[in-house]
């Protein structure tokens, strides 16, 4: 207990200054300070000279001048003009020095991997944010022994590929070297298993070692956490995971909304579990859930990222979710609560006004708290129905509640149908569920959740279909795409060529 007492005391000591800092420093001023620091740091880079950062820094309104001088970038535009130069070994391109690491990120929408620069400054920011999140655990008043338990991190391989001038791999592999020395004792599954690149092999190794560990916290994407816990329970013939890990208390999740998975999680636990959300992307540590009992996550406004918000509407995005020219962008103080925005980042890794691809809502401006609502390319609107992932997640959650069933995965797409349009849902569950009933209940709830959808169901969307399939089909598809484990997520909305690929795959699986 001595170690636990020391760790908890340290957390409490660190949390004081952290909380005081956030309480008394203006969020707006913190963001202005971050932008000024970023511009000063990158002033003499090729990017900074091209967009005259020196002039921006001398202006009376730095945010406005920055917005007027620097265009908004998506991955394609910033890579083709700037980041490819860093990838080829050039220094001082969009951030000082030479970029040693690139995180491979494809998300759910791109066929090929994105190469996201990871700098030493960014790694230090991620380390600070990670410690800050650990610090927040003192608010739950866990017993001293909890702080000595293991933390199982279900991430990608820590093995990095060297390509002559840089290392590439999962962000979790790049950040592994930044884990504080004092944390190594608690870190599971350990360095050897973490280096394993094959997901199924890693899963089997974790399952073998599971009885040797006393886990208090599990970190990972909900779908993969669920799969791992189910396999451990099955392998050792347990009733719940707490039969093996009695001190397991916290799941730190990220990547997708947790709500659709809650029904499936409930049967896995014998004790109450605290779900804590974090927002760590390949581009940086963006936000974390820090207030007890509050769903929203605090934007980390003082740690190397300047945030902007593009209203997610037809004026700024086309029907495919691509940016239009000269989109409107707002600072945090200008944005409004409960409106949907696409997130822009300017970071200490050399991203500038970069469209990360996620959509968010600000739910509390005072605390800079946000919710992730989806992806710019993963919404459904072929005729103005404007269905967000938030709408879809909630409809699936209500379907589960109505019928008392567990749904493991789902996806949807739109297609022309008899002169109008239809929506086709695929529902992954092992329980009995009628296709027509599933479609009817989803449709009913979406009409209540979204006014645009209700209108278009009368005008343009003539039918809603559902097909209930085994959850294994989703997993096998991800295996076929070589996107198993780590932060890979099944796309909630299918578009273009992926629709035919998925439909054919499902038929073949049947």
Output the average pLDDT for the chain.
Answer: 88
Tell me which of 172 and 284 has the higher pLDDT: 284
Query: Can you give 187-198 as a three-state secondary structure string?
Result: EECCHHHHCCCC
Instruction: CATH 3.30.300 in the chain: give the residue spans.
Output: 389-509
Angle between helix 389-403 and helix 435-449 axes, rounded to 10 deg: 130
pLDDT band at 157 (very low <50, low <70, confident <90, very high): confident
- Do 300 and 122 touch, CB atoms closer than 8 A? no
Could you read off the pLDDT of 3-18 as tens digits, one per residue? 455 555 555 555 554 4
> Mapping DSSP to helix (H, G, I), strand (E, B) and coil, where does residue 27 land?
helix
Would you say residue 106 has pLDDT above 70? no
> Among positive and negative, which fits the CA dihedral 181, 185, 191, 194?
negative
pLDDT score, position 474: 94
Return the higher-pLDDT residue of 83 and 385.
Answer: 83
Read off the pLDDT of each residue in 156-178 and give the average, rounded to a whole number.
83
Q: Model's pTM, two decimal places? A: 0.84
- Estimate the crossing angle of helix 451-459 against helix 435-449, to 10 degrees: 120
Torsion over CA: 159, 358, 310, 326 (sign): positive
Q: What b-and-e string marks burial along 50-86, b requiring 16 or more CB atoms within 10 Å of the CB? A: ebebeebbeeeebbebbbeebbbbebeebbebbbebb
- Please report, rounded to a whole number, the percentage of residues in the chain having pLDDT higher than 70: 92
Lowest mean pLDDT among 32-46, 175-189, 280-294, 375-389: 175-189
Has residue 72 got a pLDDT over 60? yes
Highest mean pLDDT: which range of 12-21, 256-265, 287-296, 443-452:
443-452
Give the least confident one: 179-188, 256-265, 387-396: 179-188
pLDDT digits (tens, 9 = 90+) for 212-240: 999 999 998 888 899 899 999 999 999 99
Does residue 20 register a pLDDT over 70? no
Q: What is the CATH number of domain 389-509?
A: 3.30.300
Which pLDDT score is estimated for 173?
Answer: 80
Asked whether residue 110 carries a pLDDT value surpassing 50, the answer given is: no
What is d(CA 288, CA 303) in angstroms, rounded to the nearest whole number? 12
Q: Does position 312 have pLDDT exceeding 90, yes or no?
A: yes
**323-332, 380-389, 436-445: the lowest-pLDDT one:** 380-389
- Reduce the secondary structure of 2-25 to three states and give it as a string: HHHHHHHHHHHHHHHHHHHHHHHC
Average confidence (pLDDT) over 118-147: 84
pLDDT of residue 21: 45
Which pLDDT does position 318 carry in this prediction?
A: 85
Whether pLDDT at 182 is above 70: no
Q: Cis before residue 225, ω within 30 degrees of 0?
A: no
């Amino acid at each position: 207990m001595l170690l636990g007492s020391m760790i908890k005391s340290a957390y409490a000591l660190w949390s004081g200054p952290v909380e005081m800092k956030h309480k008394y420093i203006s969020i707006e001023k913190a963001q202005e300070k971050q932008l000024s620091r970023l511009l000063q740091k990158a002033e003499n880079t090729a990017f900074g000279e091209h967009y005259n950062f020196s002039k921006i820094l001398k202006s009376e309104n730095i945010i406005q001048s920055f917005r007027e001088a620097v265009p908004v970038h998506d991955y394609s535009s910033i890579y083709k003009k700037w980041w490819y130069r860093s990838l080829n070994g050039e220094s001082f391109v969009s951030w000082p020095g030479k970029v040693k690491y690139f995180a491979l990120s494809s998300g759910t929408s791109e066929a090929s991997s994105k190469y996201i620069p990871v700098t030493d400054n960014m790694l230090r920011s991620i380390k600070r944010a990670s410690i800050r999140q650990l610090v927040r655990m003192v608010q739950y008043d866990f017993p001293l022994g909890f702080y000595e338990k293991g933390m199982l991190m279900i991430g990608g391989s820590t093995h990095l590929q060297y390509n002559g001038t840089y290392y590439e791999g999962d962000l979790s592999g790049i950040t592994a070297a930044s884990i504080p020395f004092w944390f190594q004792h608690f870190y599971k599954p350990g360095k050897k298993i973490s280096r394993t690149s094959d997901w199924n092999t890693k899963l089997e190794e974790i399952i073998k070692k599971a009885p040797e560990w006393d886990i208090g916290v599990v970190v990972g994407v909900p779908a993969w956490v669920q799969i791992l816990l189910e396999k451990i329970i099955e392998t050792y013939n347990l009733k719940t995971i707490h039969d093996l890990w009695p001190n397991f208390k916290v799941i730190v999740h990220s990547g997708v909304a947790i709500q659709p998975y809650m029904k499936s999680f409930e049967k896995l636990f014998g004790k109450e579990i605290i779900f804590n959300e974090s927002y760590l992307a390949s581009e940086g540590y963006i936000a974390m859930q820090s207030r007890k009992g509050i769903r929203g996550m605090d934007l980390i406004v003082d740690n190397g990222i300047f945030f902007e918000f593009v209203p997610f509407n037809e004026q700024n995005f086309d029907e495919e979710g691509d940016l239009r020219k000269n989109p409107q962008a707002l600072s945090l103080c200008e944005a409004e609560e409960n409106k949907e925005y696409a997130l822009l980042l300017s970071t200490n890794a050399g991203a500038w006004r970069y469209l990360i691809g996620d959509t968010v809502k600000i739910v509390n401006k005072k605390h800079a708290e946000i919710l992730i609502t989806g992806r710019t390319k993963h919404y459904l609107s072929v005729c103005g129905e404007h269905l967000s992932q938030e709408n879809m997640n909630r409809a699936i959650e209500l379907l589960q509640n109505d019928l008392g069933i567990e749904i493991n995965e789902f996806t949807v797409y739109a297609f022309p149908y008899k002169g109008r349009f239809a929506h086709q849902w695929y529902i992954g569950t092992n329980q009995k569920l009628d296709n027509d009933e599933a479609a009817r209940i989803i449709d009913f709830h979406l009409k209540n959740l979204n006014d645009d959808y209700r209108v278009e169901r009368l005008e343009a969307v003539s039918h809603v279909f559902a097909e209930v399939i085994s959850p294994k089909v989703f997993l096998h598809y991800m295996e076929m795409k070589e996107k198993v484990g780590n932060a890979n997520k099944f796309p909630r909305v299918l578009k273009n060529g992926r629709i035919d690929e998925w439909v054919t795959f499902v038929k073949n699986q049947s």
